[in-house]
Every structure is written in C-alpha cells, then in structure tokens.
Structure 1
Amino acid sequence: MRHEDLYIAGVGSWYPKPVTADEAIEAGLWDEAGRRRTGQVSAAVAGDDDTQPEMAVRAGKLAVRQSGHAESDFGVLMHAAAGFNGLDGWNITSYLQHEILAGHGLSMEVRQQSNGAMVAIELAAAYLAAGTDRTAALITASDRFVLPVWDRWRAYAGLVLGDGASAAVLSRRSGFARVLSVVTRSRPELERAQRADLPFKPYADPHDTDLYPISLIRRMQDYAAASGMGMSGVFRRMNETLVETVNTAAEEAGTRLADVEHLIFPSFGRQMMQQEVLGPLGIDKERTPWQWVAEVGHVGATDQFGALDHLGRAGLLQPGQRVMMTGIGLGFNWTTAVIEILEPPVTVESAL
C-alpha cells in the first residue's frame, strides 16, 4: 500500500555488550565452522539485568524523545517479540504503555516472529488513518535468547541470535523520513517448516529434551524431507515471495531497487543472507549494514529499526535517500517498507 502522510519521527535501539566469536569458541559454545559459515564476529548478549521489558523501555524512550512527540500524542503502542516476554501470565504491553507513554493510548502485542515490528507498521498506519485524533504510534520490539530454550550459537546453522531492543515512532504530523509504501505477503502453508511433526503441548517445559534447546534447522530439515520438496523446494518458495514483496513495495513507492541507497534485511549470517536474500534479489552485501549485522546478530523483531537507528547514528542517512526495510517472520510472512529520508535524524544519547 502506498502512503502519502505517514512519517517515521523517531527511532531508538538498545543492544547489550557483545560477546566475540573468539570468546564463544574458546568457551566451547561455538566452532570455527560456524564462524566461517556466518561471518559473525560477535553477538549482543544480555546481562542478568537486561530483561526483555526493560530493554524495550530503553529503546522506546529513545525513539519517543527523538520524535519530539508528547506522550499524549500517542494513540497506540504495538510491541513485537519472537520469544519469551519475561513473565507468563502478564501483559508486557501494559507495562510498556505505562513506562514509556505514561499510560496514554492503547497497547497491544504483535506476534509475527521476526517480522513483528515490520508488520506493525501496516497495523499502526491503519489505526492512525481510522479517524483517531491521536497523531502518533509507537512500535517496540525486544528479544533475548538464552538456554535452556535457545542456544544462540547453534539454533540455526545460518545465523547467530543476539539480544536487544529497538523502537520507532510513526507520525501523521512530520518526521525525518516519509513512509512511501508498505507491503506484506505470507505463505502459511510453510508453517510446518518450524513445526515438522512435533506434537502440541499444554505448556512449555524447557526440560523436554525432545523440544529444547530449539533447533530450527532440524525442524526445517524434517519438514523438507517429509513434504518431498526438499530444502531447495522450501527455499524456492520463500525466495519467490521475498522477491514479490520487495518488487511490489518498490513499484508502489515509485522507485527501483537499484536506486535504493540502504537495504535492511533480517540480520542473517553471510551464507544465509546470500542464499535467502541477496542472491534472489541480485544485490550486493555492501548495500546492507553488514558490519553492524556481524557485530550484533539476529535479534528477532528488532533488526530493522535497530539497523535504521545505526545508520542514523553513523551519519549515513541523508536527505533524498531511499531506504528499504524488509522483515521475514517464521510461518512464513514478509513485510517490506520503502522510506524517503527528509533530513538526518537527531541523535539522542539518553532517554533519561
């Protein structure tokens, strides 16, 4: 869908101190084959005090402060996560709404795995356009991947999982970037690629060694074999939908992929990025914030706004540039947004 009066007024991110690949290998957590395959030099790893909700608050406050919007301007907060929110039987969005927006607006959670924050752009844009008198929406995302549920270094052969949070403020009033188009596509018939033939359970039990630590690659391999399509067939279907999503978003934005200055994708490892993104689209790694990706890792739904914040802080966002952000969520679902930079974002060092 093409947009005429939707802006990104602020972004923020908070990622903890990285653990280097050397440190992980020396500790027996990883191996040289994984490093060669992914090109990962480190991963952001949360400390004991870096909880999922608190990291989201840090990122959200930075985005709100950069946006210049008052708390009372916000009509909705949407939070995305791929994993655990810090506590069962509890609503993280009410916590974020209270801590970041002083209770203003509404709040809700978006569960589209690693595409949650991107698809929230579509949802928030529709909410803001639906006659509400509120002018802004806040999207937050946070994730933390730890044992016994996640082995960040081995959960999927093509990437390393990191921890952290990011956020963005959408505005109907103004911003440093204008949203030109947002497109979402899905292939729900591929949901078994992360389920295989595993049974549904009444509750999560991290001591169940048949399920934990989660091995996404083993589940996909089992599904690919059982379905008869093989891994190549799974990837072909995924690649086709990625290309459709990206090309449609570019067309609706009135631009060409070749004219987009910065391309932001999920923070996959080097080989996986080439196989699932760069190769199908015919683009080079140098057009992505690869160095940042290799230092932080794939942090669930936070990758896109985190990368945009990184580009802004590095002084790489200049007026007239176009930026494309694409999310890919398990299930599978894809969202691509094309934005035009109107002015360099103001750097905010502290949300306090």
Structure 2
Amino acid sequence: MRSTQIYARIAGTGSYLPERVLGNAELAQQVETSDEWIVTRTGIRQRHIAAPDELTSDLALKAAQAALASAGVTAADLDLIIVATTTPDVVFPSAACILQDKLGVHGCPAFDVQAVCAGFAYALATADQFVRGGMAKTALVVGAEVFSRILDWDDRTTCVLFGDGAGAVVLKASEEPGILVTKLKADGRYRDILTTPASIMHGDVRGKPFLHMDGQAVFKFAVKALAELASETLEAAGIAQSELNWLVPHQANIRIIESTARHLGLSMDKVVVTLAQHGNTSAASIPLALDHAAREGRFQRGDLIMLEGIGGGFAWGSALLRW
C-alpha cells in the first residue's frame, strides 16, 4: 500500500512594520544623499524604523499573531517555531524561544536560523522538511529584523538601503501540494563583501559592529546566482518556466529584481515588489512581501509562486510552492 505524500502548505500569512517611517527626504538631512540618488540606484523611497524600546521579538510577535489569525489556528496548535534573523534581541536565548514565551506556549522546538537576507528561505526549507518528515503538523516561520541598529548612519552607501520589520507564515501538513521544491546554497569565499565583522570578547566588542557592503560585487554575484537558482528550482520540480505565475523576491534592489524577472520571462506585474515602501528588511523582506500580496488578494488558489533570497555568507535559497 502506497503511503500518502505529505506537503507543507501555507495556511496563513502575517506581517508587522514599525510605526516610524523614515523617508528619503528626511534621510537626506542626515547624510549626503538625495531622494533621486536613492530611488535611481535602489528603488527605495522609505523604510520603517523600530522604536527604541522595540525588539526583534516584539516585531516577530505581532507578525506571528497576524499569521496565526490568518491561518485560523492558535499558538497552542504550534509544534515548531523557527525565526530567521540576523539581529536577535540578545546573544542567547534565541529570538524563537523568546517569541515562544511571548506567545504564551511552551514545549515545542523553537530555534533561530541565521542566513541574513536568505534567512527566510533557509527557515522555510527547514520547516518544510520537519512537516514532510512528520515531525511537525503546524509550524510558524518568521523573518524579523531590526537592521537599523547595525547600520552606520554616516555611511550613505548602506544606511539608505535597510529598514526594520517582520513577516510570518503558518505551515500546515496537507495531502494537497504546497511547497514543492526548496533549494539552498552558500559560498563562504564571498563572506567579506557583505558582513558585519564584530564579535564579543571578554566583555568588549571586537571589530566594526556596522554593516559593510561592497555594493558592486554584491550586485554582480546576486544577479547571476539568483538567475541560476531560479532555473535549477523549476527544473527540480519538473515545471516549465511558462507555468510560473508569481515571483516574490528578496527586496534588496530593484535592478536585481528586474533582472531575475527577465530571466524567468515574467512581466513586472507578476512580481511582488514592496521595496519602495519597506526598503531591504533582510530576512523579513520575503514574508512581508508575501503577506502584502496575499492580503491584496493577488494570489489565486493553485497559483505557482517562487520565493528567492540572497544575502551575506554568501547564502541564497528558493522555494517553489502552490498557493
């Protein structure tokens, strides 16, 4: 007797953005830049900045609560919590364990995944394997960041790019196809072109605790890596490029997004873009964009959607799913 294939399906989405909005015009008063310079090179017009007393786990909690409500489940139903973040509240415990406590539940596994802007892809792939393997039936996957706290606000090449926020999805085990294929990759040889090279040693911060990026090198690597990954993901699923309905990419740079869309033969009206309003929210950017589009009703049942992200490490990953 053949066993039934189990899939992880997205049952609900949620997101949260801090109240404070930092527009390009205001930013231009703090650092030598302009709205035109930022928009032309990145596509970003504004970003959200966490309040001084807001922690990553606070953002994650609000996104998680929205996703749980969307899925029609409670925190007590969860048997797995994964948080993708590069900016946790503390060194340890994990943001996931703190989130678990704030959700008022205990007992199920909870842990963080650190793959920077590819973090959500890595976390989603991990949760997918838990569900496929029968180790979880209802999983919460969150991407949450307060990237504003690791930025040098005097460096116009980096401070204009990033913002804070959180996005979440609830996965449920199903016999109906959901996540079809995930692909994860990394290449540590490129670790120095996008990094925050600081560590804690004997009570002191060693190294520069601000984000450093070689923009041209990152752009060149990302364009090639994401194009290749998109093709490999479709091939692994045995699905033609023409069948793809939507692309939900990491929101880093409009030129990278447009390049990936061209490679996939997708018009930009089939690409979810929240970059102008959110900036680059690292691990939060894909679930934020996914929730934004879902709540607008842009996805139809059965749509084929590709998620893709790339970030420091270098790490990159994708997920192909049926809505």
How would you bin the TM-score normalised by the shorter chain?
0.7 to 0.9
**What is the alpha-carbon distance in structure 1 between the residues aligned to residue 128 and residue 83 of structure 2?**
15
Q: Which residue of 2 aligns with 1:139?
A: 141
Matched to 2:201, the amino acid is P
Query: Which of 211, 214, 218 pairs up with 2:211?
Result: 214
- CA deviation digits over 1:218-258, x for unaligned, max 9? xx67xxxxxxxxx4xx7655444322321122123343333
1:279 and 1:205, CA in 2 relative to 1: closer, same or farther beyond 3 A?
farther
Distance 1:330 1:147, change over 3 A: closer
Map of 2:201 onto structure 1: 202
Amino acid aligned to 2:235:
E
Asked whether the 8 Å contact 2:188–2:314 carries over to 1, the reply is: yes
Q: Which amino acid aligns with 1:66?
A: S
- Residue 299 of structure 2, aligned match among 317, 321, 330: 317
Match of 1:172 in 2: 173
Q: Deviations over 1:149-185 (max 9, x none)?
A: 443973538x61011111111111379x821221112
Distance, in Å, in 1 between the alignment partners of 2:247 and 2:57 is 28
Q: Are residue 96 (structure 1) and residue 99 (structure 2) matched?
A: yes
Q: 1:250 to 1:136 in 2, by over 3 A?
A: same
Choose 25-34 or 306-315, whichever is displaced more: 25-34
Is 1:327 the equivalent of 2:282? no
Give the CA deviation at 1:108. 0.7
Quote the offset at 1:310 in angstroms. Answer: 0.4
Deviation at 1:194, TM superposition (A): 3.0
C-alpha separation between the residues in 2 aligned to 1:152 and 1:45?
Answer: 16
Counterparts of 2:222 and 2:250, CA distance in 1: 14
CA distance 1:278–1:293, change in 2 (3 Å): same
Corresponding letter in the other structure for 1:202: M
2:50 match: 46
Q: 1:225 — aligned with what?
A: none
Q: How does 1:228-247 map to 2 (within 5 A)?
A: 231=217, 238-247=222-231
Distance 1:81 1:112 in 2: 8
Show the counterpart of 2:131.
128
Secondary structure of the residue that 2:208 maps to in structure 1? coil
Alignment partner for residue 33 of structure 1, among 21, 34, 37? 37
- Whichever structure has more strand as a proportion of its residues is 2
Partner of 1:146: helix, strand, or coil? helix
Contact 1:154 1:215 in 2 (8 A): no
Does residue 262 in structure 1 map to residue 241 in structure 2? Answer: no
Name the structure 2 match of 1:14: 16
| Residues 59 and 148 of structure 1: CA distance in aligned 2, closer, same or farther (over 3 Å) | closer
Q: Which amino acid aligns with 1:143?
A: E
Which amino acid letter does the alignment assign opposite residue 288 of structure 1? V
Residue in 2 that maps onto 1:287 = 270
User: 1:265, 1:59 → 2: CA distance?
Assistant: 19
Q: Which runs of 5 or more structure 1 residues have no equivalent in the other structure?
A: 222-230, 342-352
Measure, in 1, the Cα distance between the counterparts of 2:294 and 2:284.
16
Q: Give the direction of change, closer, same or farther, for the CA distance of 1:205–1:215 in structure 2 (3 Å limit).
A: farther
Offset, 1:195 = 5.4
Aligned to 1:184: 184
- Give 2:64's aligned residue: 60
Deviations 1:15-38 (A, max 9, x none): 123222222224446424223212
Pairwise CA distance, 1:205:
6.1
The Cα of 1:107 is off from its aligned counterpart by 0.5
- Tell me if structure 2 keeps the 8 A contact 1:56–1:142: yes
Counterpart check, 1:249 vs 2:246: no
**1:122-168 per-position Cα deviation (integer Å, ceiling 9, x unaligned):** 21122223343x411111121112356443973538x6101111111
Question: Aligned equivalents of 2:198 and 2:145: distance in 1?
Answer: 25
Q: In structure 2, what is the equivalent of residue 349 of structure 1?
A: none
- From the superposition, tell whether residues 270 and 195 of structure 1 become closer, same or farther in structure 2 (CA, over 3 Å): closer
Moved more, 280-289 or 137-146: 280-289
- What is the distance in 1 between the residues matched to 2:123 and 2:317? 9
Which letter does structure 2 place at the counterpart of 1:294?
A
Unaligned runs of 5+ in 2: none
Match in the other structure for 1:111: 114
Is 1:193 the counterpart of 2:193 in the alignment?
yes
**Contact 2:272–2:290 (CA under 8 A) maintained in structure 1:** no
- The one-letter amino acid paired with 1:173 is S
Are 2:82 and 1:78 aligned? yes
Distance between the aligned counterparts of 1:262 and 1:279, measured in 2?
13
TM-score by length of 2: 0.85
Partners of 2:58 and 2:282 in 1: CA distance:
16
Cα-Cα RMSD? 3.1
Cα distance in 1 for partners of 2:195, 2:105 equals 39
Q: Tell whether the 8 Å contact from 1:74 to 1:101 is kept in structure 2 after alignment.
A: no
Residue in structure 1 matched with residue 27 of structure 2 by the alignment: 24
